[in-house]
Amino acid sequence: MNLQRPIFRSDEVALTRFLAGQADAGALANFQRQLVAAWNACGAFEWVAFGYLVLSSLLMAAFAENLRHPFRMIALQWFVGALIFTLALVESRSAQRARILGPSWRTTFWHFWRHWYPHLFFLFCFEELGQLIHLVDSHWRDAKLIVFDHWLTGVHPSVWLEQFATPARNDFFQFTYITYFTYLLIVGGVLYYRRDWRSYWSVMTYSMIGYAIGYTVAVFFPIESPWFAMVGMWRGDLQGGPFTATINFIEHFGRVRGAAFPSEHVAGSVAALWGAWRHRRWLAYALAPLVLCMLVSTVWGRYHYVADVLAGIMTGTLGYFLGCRIMRHPNAVAKSSRSISISALPN
């Protein structure tokens, strides 16, 4: 005699829902494990980068009426954060496989991008400031810095410097201005070549903190620079040679109007110089003359006020000292960099 209860349609529906619920729970648990693994693969640089992305997203949401496409920009912020999470996780797992199975081209590929993506992230954040510069304040505040510079020096510095301009001097200072792009590459390149991972990530963290502070200040205090605010006060354009032409080309296609205070050129250079001083003293001595000339070039070339330069020095220095404190955390260096085998990387 068959004593089993017949299965009715309602039972089939309930069973289907139960199995679907189990599958959803399993997928959710797996997603949570992936998030935890990705977070554990991150280091101090990512902590600061995610903090800046969250802060800027909150500001975009709070002042959404001042943006043309606020939700699109917030989505982009989170997309970039997701890319960083994914890269950290993939590179960490690649390093684990390399320790067990031996090195491969994948190990080198992911290790390289894991360590060098910060430069692209800095560029992304800086270019984004072009849309965020009037997020909080709709007016330019250059007049305040023009008054400050005149009070501090007794002149309008960029106008006063014009009397010393010659094509040769202009080209020299434009050259030193361009060298800004190389400082972090040089310091990071030396540390990467020497496989000094803790020092490498320390320098990147100093820079990330300095930039994040500068980006945030720029959002609240919009300055467009003497190039725009003081136009008409000079006798003419600065004439020079190939370096002047190069910087004019870069400024024409890559200039962000605003985000001049504090000077991110100065903040990034000072943070990199502090990093070289702490981790490769000889490199700091080599770079210091160029950095000093670059500081002058920002005013000479009419890109910044003296106030921008002073604020940039303070921001870069603050990034260094705060970064030193953060790097004391035992997990400050990316997990894969703490444990990766030297044999897992190319010579």
Q: How far is CA 231 from CA 70, 147, 156, 227, 294, in A?
A: 32, 16, 13, 6, 22
Alpha carbon distance 321, 271 (integer Å):
9
Helices (DSSP H) in 221-305: which residue ranges? 226-229, 242-254, 264-279, 281-300
Provide the mean pLDDT of the chain: 86
Other CB atoms closer than 10 Å to residue 99's CB: what's the count? 15
Encode pLDDT of 188-245 as tens digits. Answer: 999 999 999 999 999 999 999 999 999 999 999 999 889 888 888 888 888 888 888 8
Task: State the sign of the Cα–Cα–Cα–Cα dihedral 133, 136, 142, 145.
Answer: negative
Helix (H) or strand (E) holding 234: none
Alpha carbon distance 78, 43 (integer Å):
18
Extract the tokens encoding 211.
């930039």
Extract the tokens encoding 142.
């250059």
* 269 compared with 16, residue with greater pLDDT: 269
Encode pLDDT of 70-96 as tens digits. Answer: 999 999 999 999 999 899 888 888 888
Encode pLDDT of 2-23 as tens digits. Answer: 545 454 455 555 546 545 555 5
Closest C-alpha among 177, 105, 82 to residue 346 = 105
Extract the tokens encoding 12.
């089939």
Q: Indicate the pLDDT class of residue 48, thresholds 50, 70 and 90.
A: very high
Separate counts of helices (H) and strands (E) for the chain: 15, 0
Alpha carbon distance 284, 288 (integer Å):
6
Extract the tokens encoding 128.
């984004």
Alpha carbon distance 300, 134 (integer Å):
26
Eight-class DSSP state of 64: G
In total, the chain counts a number of residues equal to 347
If you write DSSP's letter for every residue of 136-199 in order, what string do you get? S--S--HHHHHHHHHHHHSS-HHHHGGGG--HHHHHHHHHHHHTHHHHHHHHHHHHHHTT-HHH
Q: What's the pTM value of the predicted model, to 2 decimals?
A: 0.85
Encode pLDDT of 112-152 as tens digits. Answer: 999 999 999 999 998 898 889 999 999 999 999 999 999 99
Give the lowest-confidence range in 81-90, 102-111, 305-314: 102-111
